[in-house]
Structure 1
Amino acid sequence: MSRRTLAGGLAIAAALTLTTLPAAAEQSSLRFPSAKFPLGTRPLPTKTMTAVTQGIDLYDVKAGTSTDGYTVTVLMPSGRDYGTLPTAETKVAEVEAAGETASLQKVIRPGVADAPSQTVYMVRVGLWSFKDKKKAEETAKTLKDAGLKVKVDYLGDDGLKTTGPWDVKVVMIDAKTFRGSYVASLGTSVAKRETVSSMAKAGGAVVGVNGGFFNIHTAAALRGEPVGTSVVGGKLLSEAVPGRSAVVLRGRSAKITELKTTVTVTSQDGTKAEINGINRAAATDELVLYTEEYGAKTPTGGTDAVIDANGKVVGLRVSGAAVTAGMRVLHGNGLGAEWLNEHVWQNWTVKVDTKVVDLRTKKALKLTPDLNVIAGSVGLVRNGKVKITAKRDGHDSMNMILRRHPRTLLGTTRNGSLILATIDGRQPGVTVGANFVEAAQFMRWLGAVQAINLDGGGSTAMVVANKLVNRPSDGSERGVGDALLVLPK
């Protein structure tokens, strides 16, 4: 598809540059904190502020120093780098049989709002300074030759005590002086992944950050599909993961909440059915709705009903074709196909009802053109207090809660201002990233009373005035499913 999936469908071509603003525009109610950096040993950060446009400031923040080194971690039979005490003790014996000395490390993953703490054990061999990584790699090879599965670990990634360093970018958007708007973008289509830089440029955005998780467990050509609610310009393009955190954008307001979506179809004969998904691969016996924004063919092996803007069934076909402009396709396989064959006939009219409900207020959102929604991944701060909802959002593992990764964070302040932050990571000696607890503490420090974690890792990206300002851990910017764009008007 040639048009871009951006609120309003318009590309704003204005060229934006970093400028110094008049004094009147600098009277912001949003201030960068003066207290010590909240992570590690609470060092004083260095920061550089750039006024981007009215109401938007960019902070380049660096804190901490590199003191972490390397160790060799022995993997358990499960393939994880941790296990129970008996399993770990068995691995210690295997390491010693190979002629090396092992240490048994007790690790407590902190409890979060919806998951208790977890105690596990790791087996590690040696400790080397940052400059001696090759020695760790040599020991790892010796252990591998002895039949053990091991990996070389940088201790700054552990999520335990560290001195950093941290490389952070923060955009503060002041509710009192900002005159632009917030939208979501899926790029050229739902199915295709695209960089934040590309989406920001096409949308005329002054700021852009990556959005929520996208589906890496589907066919390669479909991996731009958001995992969770996506609304662009008032149109639901991906269904909710029930209860998952999301950010609701309307004009220049941003609200963090949890959402539920329901989509039903009513045939001309009065029969109703649940639509199981929107713009994603269909599972057995499902009904899935595809919109023109999908950008891929419907699945094969089922039945398609092609529906026009008025709900008229203009065609019935064997599935596996594209969705043409101005049309929707209701696809069914198995029981879903049987329902279509019985209740959706050529030239009949069907009605598709879409509802997006805010689970905090229990009210449905009005699907008007100014509504945009991006799914988050984990709730971090609620009503000014750390409240990490990792289990509800499907991320309550040791790796996700405790270990440090690059993070993209979004928060709102008491007066409705928006804070966007990236914490780069996975770059030993340069920046260590953050775990969930650290990310929550960091957003509270910045003044957020509500905050969520967006997609992170190699997806973390922040673009300001058409320039990528952070350093993605992949070494270059990754294509992602969606982005949050800040428009100048």
Structure 2
Amino acid sequence: MSRRTIAGGLAIAAAITVTTLPAASVAAEQVSVKFPSARFPLGARPVPTKTMTAVTQGIDLYDVKAGTSTDGYTLTVLMPNGRDSGPLPNAEAKVAEVEAIGETPALQEVVRPAVADAPAKTEYMVRVGLWPLKDKKKAEEAAKKFKEAGLKVKVDYLGDDGLKTTGPWNVKVVMIDARTFRGSYAASLGTSVAKRETVSSMAKAANAVVGLNGGFFNIHTAKELRGEPVGASVVGGRLLSEAVPGRSAVVLQGRTAKITELQTTVIAISQDGEKASINGINRAAATDELVLYTEEYGAKTPAGGTDVVMDAGGKVIGVRVSGAAVAKGTRVLHGNGVAGEWLNQHAWQDWTVKVDTKVVDLRTKKELNLTPDLHVVAGGVGLVRNGKVTITAKRDGHDSMNMILRRHPRTLVGITSNGSLILATIDGRQPGITVGANFHEAAQFMRWLGARQAINLDGGGSTAMVVGNKLVNRPSDGAERAVGDALLVLPK
């Protein structure tokens, strides 16, 4: 990963060191999960300070700090699309605009590193000036001149770049020893699928020992529906959100956990033998889609279609105009357009419509048994597979420069060779306090902790870890954000 100054006077270090970890840190077998004794794997590999708290049998919490603050601020001139970087011609045009108002810009080449499913990509940035951490206000004053001249700029903290930094890092790690842990794992969507809720609230309601924010939720739907997970969600053996095909997920059952990729198939089978694919579960319906709503949805079905209300056995107990709540003990098949016509033809009053649900582990090619102890939390990006850094950013929809290279707060889950579970949060977006991590750093960090498999969950302002009903990390929003779902560690 590198950034090179092509023109101008902005002096910034040119590369981030990718550390090769000692073989002992990723040994094929582990007797138990232990915090590593090696130096912190990021930056100049400083010696971290750590404080360990025994939470309960088999669960330890580590408060880890490493590195020091040496980064400052610069002004980043935004490209025509509003992004930080872009093609060389766009960047050169911005250089000319900056020079036209009497300022000296720096044109920088930025290489977004390759990941497992996407090649490296080169883009260019235009930046002006350099201010130490304590002089952010001076940078903000300088930015006003550019905005008055019609140039869009932002005050940019260099520690967020994803390139060379000395930190600091503020990290929380929960290690759950498979040999001695006697509790269980679960997922929670809170009081409903549609509603967002804090991890603290979900953990308290379940009497959880540990709570961690889960996967991404849909911010591009109606405000009242934004708790909907983007990807597979299973709670107590009930599929409450369909998978994004091939996306990484954490599968929890009893006190076991694994990371894999999932595919879900849901089919409505009418009493007359006709079949129709169910396109989604507990989410807004697009034109011609057939969507299943369960009692956990917590919102009204969409208006403008047909609702078929079924009891627990699949018997149709009502056909109605859509736009009403889902009563307890029922499920609703909703369709509009072509899907609505199928319901009108094949889901009559007192008929039976079977809903056939399959959740398949794409690594083993085996179907998961939807038993009451099965839970699934969808992740955003696979990080480590079989002990090797394997970042599946493109497959998981996060292969942008911003997501791969820049640093953000991270929520991470890892599994060791003996099945022990590692939960971690790396706080970020707090200049001078903690810089967060990019995908490569997050993967290196989880390998350092001993993870043979690791996944990135939702991060940014969503990153939250609750231990013993206390929020132990420091969210970048300044307060805990309501999220879609949570991964919970239960006492039994």
TM-score range for the pair, normalised by the shorter chain length: over 0.9
Q: Which runs of structure 2 are paired with 1:60-459 in the superposition (5 Å)?
A: 60-459=63-462
With normalisation by structure 2, the TM-score equals 0.93
- For 1:204-226, what per-residue CA distance to the aligned partner results, in whole angstroms no more than 9, with x for missing partners? 10000000000000000000000
Over residues 97-142 of structure 1, what are the superposed CA-to-partner deviations in whole Å (9 max), with x where a residue is unaligned? 1111101111101000000001111000000100111111111111
> Which amino acid in 2 is paired with 1:210?
N
Structure-2 separation of matches of 1:30 and 1:184? 23
Structure 2: distance between partners of 1:82 and 1:139: 20
Q: Distance in 2 between matches of 1:242 and 1:157?
A: 31
> Matched residues in 1 for 2:84 and 2:227: separation?
30
Q: SS of the counterpart of 2:267?
A: strand
TM-score (norm 1): 0.94
Amino acid at match of 2:263: K
Describe the SS at the equivalent of 1:187: coil
Which amino acid letter does the alignment assign opposite residue 357 of structure 1? V
Give CA deviations for 1:365-424 in whole Å, capped at 9, x if unaligned: 000001000000000000000000000000000000000000000000000000000000
Is the 2:32–2:420 contact (alpha carbons within 8 Å) kept by the matching residues of 1?
no
Partner SS for 1:134: helix
Unaligned runs of 5+ in 1: 1-27
Count residues in correspondence.
462
Moved more, 78-87 or 338-347: 78-87
* Structure 1 residue ranges, 4+ long, deviating more than 6 angstroms after superposition: none
Offset of 1:29 from its aligned partner? 2.0
SS at structure 2 position matched to 1:439: helix
Q: Which residue of 2 aligns with 1:22?
A: none
1:58-77 per-residue CA deviation (whole Å, 9 max, x = no partner) reads 00000000000000000111
Separation of aligned partners in 2, 1:480 and 1:230: 14
How far, CA to CA, are the matches of 2:87 and 2:307 in structure 1? 51
In the alignment, the residues of structure 1 paired with residue 403 and residue 349 of structure 2 have an alpha-carbon distance, to the nearest angstrom, of 49
- Which one-letter code corresponds to 1:443 in the other structure? M
Q: C-alpha separation between the residues in 2 aligned to 1:486 and 1:173?
A: 9
SS in 2 for 1:49: strand
SS at match of 1:144: helix
Confirm whether residue 33 of structure 1 aligns to residue 26 of structure 2.
Answer: no
The residue type equivalent to 1:289 in the other structure is L
Whole-angstrom CA distance in 2 between matches of 1:132 and 1:286 = 54
Per the alignment, residue 469 of structure 1 pairs with: 472
Query: Partner residue of 1:12?
Result: none
Tell me how large the CA RMSD over aligned residues is: 0.6
